[in-house]
């Protein structure tokens, strides 16, 4: 039995659907099962509740052969690290109690970085706690989500620009969330791996924000420029959106760590969705309403 947390989120839903299509025995932990597609509700064993709840975990992890963990975001959290550990601690205890052999979790690239990294540091604290369960463990070390740019579709449409805090000429490691889901699915269905290991998940070649702007422009066939925001602007934007002071601080620390080189450079021979492929299949439809294949 493979247990999936956050099955209504982007990554968790993709993992759950891939496992259903493969015919894998599946159990889902969901706060609101009504948000699940009918195909999953009919196919999977659904446990209602939170994967921070020990009672829910006791039910969900009985006879589990693998567990997928993703900590859902909470922009109102009073403490970022404690938000992650509020899930990781009861999960580690339940995994140990039920002798779950394998755990796969979504974390962040750059583990081992010497310095504060905000939300990234919180994810690495989760890794440490889940590893303490003694289960075989794979930490999916994800880079900057390409899907973050979907929050700026209106800005791209109306002003022909996108905004980050990153240096315009410094490479920024990025990843398509479909690659995270694919990697998780492969690991969850493989019963042969043991030990504990970090698994980088990223596009094959890092691009600078200026290069990303060029690729977006070429894909959309319209000029799109990159604008670097100051950390003060970044802080004000998140504070005005209702994020807690702790989350705002965590986002700023993460941005500072990215500027300081928290993500190691890509290695030759990497695989995964390229930024251009993602722009063609995901960003372009969001901006113009049609895929590149349809436009051709």
pLDDT digits (tens, 9 = 90+) for 86-137: 999 999 999 999 999 999 999 999 999 989 999 999 999 999 999 999 999 9
Confidence label for 254 from pLDDT (cuts 50, 70 and 90): very high
pTM for this predicted structure: 0.93
The per-residue pLDDT for 237 is 87
| Residue pointed to by tokens 């540091």 | 121
* Cα 200 to Cα 289: distance, rounded to the nearest angstrom: 32
Instruction: Give the helix ranges, DSSP H, for 32-79.
Output: 38-43, 54-60
| pLDDT > 80? residue 239 | yes
Confidence label for 288 from pLDDT (cuts 50, 70 and 90): confident
The percent of residues above 70 in pLDDT, for the chain, comes to 97
Mean pLDDT within 155-162: 95
Mean pLDDT within 175-180: 96
| pLDDT > 50? residue 183 | yes
Mean pLDDT within 231-248: 91
As separate numbers, helices (DSSP H) first and strands (DSSP E) second, the chain gives 13, 11
The per-residue pLDDT for 291 is 47
Mean pLDDT within 125-154: 96
| Residue pointed to by tokens 């994800």 | 142
Beta strands in 128-257 (DSSP E): 136-142, 144-145, 161-164, 174-175, 196-201, 225-228
| pLDDT > 80? residue 273 | yes
The per-residue pLDDT for 293 is 45
| CA-closest candidate to residue 68, choices 181, 147, 179 | 181
Among 125-134, 147-156, 282-291, name the one with the lowest average pLDDT: 282-291
| CA-closest candidate to residue 103, choices 65, 59, 148, 48 | 65
Confidence label for 290 from pLDDT (cuts 50, 70 and 90): low
2-144+176-201: what fold? Rossmann fold (3.40.50)
| Residue pointed to by tokens 């901006």 | 287
The per-residue pLDDT for 270 is 74
Confidence label for 65 from pLDDT (cuts 50, 70 and 90): very high
Listed by start position, the domains of the chain span 2-144+176-201, 209-295
Among 4-8, 208-212, 259-263, name the one with the lowest average pLDDT: 259-263
């Amino acid at each position: 039995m493979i247990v999936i947390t956050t099955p209504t989120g982007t990554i968790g839903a993709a993992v759950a659907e891939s496992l259903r299509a493969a015919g894998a025995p599946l159990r889902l932990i969901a706060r609101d099962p009504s948000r699940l597609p009918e195909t999953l509700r009919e196919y999977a064993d659904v446990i209602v509740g939170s994967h921070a709840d020990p009672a829910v975990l006791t039910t969900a992890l009985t006879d589990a052969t693998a567990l997928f963990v993703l900590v859902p975001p909470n922009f109102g959290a009073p403490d970022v690290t404690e938000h992650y550990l509020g899930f990781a601690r009861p999960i580690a205890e339940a995994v140990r109690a039920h002798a779950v052999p394998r755990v796969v979790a979504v974390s962040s690239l750059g583990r081992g970085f010497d310095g504060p990294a905000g939300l990234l540091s919180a994810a690495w604290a989760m890794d440490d706690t889940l590893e303490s369960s003694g289960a075989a463990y794979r930490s999916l070390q994800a880079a900057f989500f390409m899907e973050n740019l979907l929050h700026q579709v209106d800005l791209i449409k109306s002003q022909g620009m996108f905004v980050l805090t990153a240096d315009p000429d410094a490479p920024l490691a990025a990843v398509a969330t479909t690659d995270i889901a694919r990697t998780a699915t492969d690991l969850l269905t493989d019963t042969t791996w043991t030990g504990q290991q970090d698994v980088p998940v990223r596009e094959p070649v890092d691009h600078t924000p200026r290069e990303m702007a060029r690729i977006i422009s070429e894909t959309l066939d319209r000029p799109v420029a990159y604008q670097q925001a100051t950390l003060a602007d970044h802080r004000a934007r998140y504070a005005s959106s209702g994020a807690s002071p702790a989350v705002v601080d965590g986002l700023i620390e993460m941005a500072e760590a990215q500027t300081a080189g928290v993500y190691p450079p890509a290695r030759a021979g990497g695989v995964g969705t390229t930024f251009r492929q993602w722009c063609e299949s995901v960003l372009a439809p969001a901006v113009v309403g049609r895929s590149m294949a349809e436009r051709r």
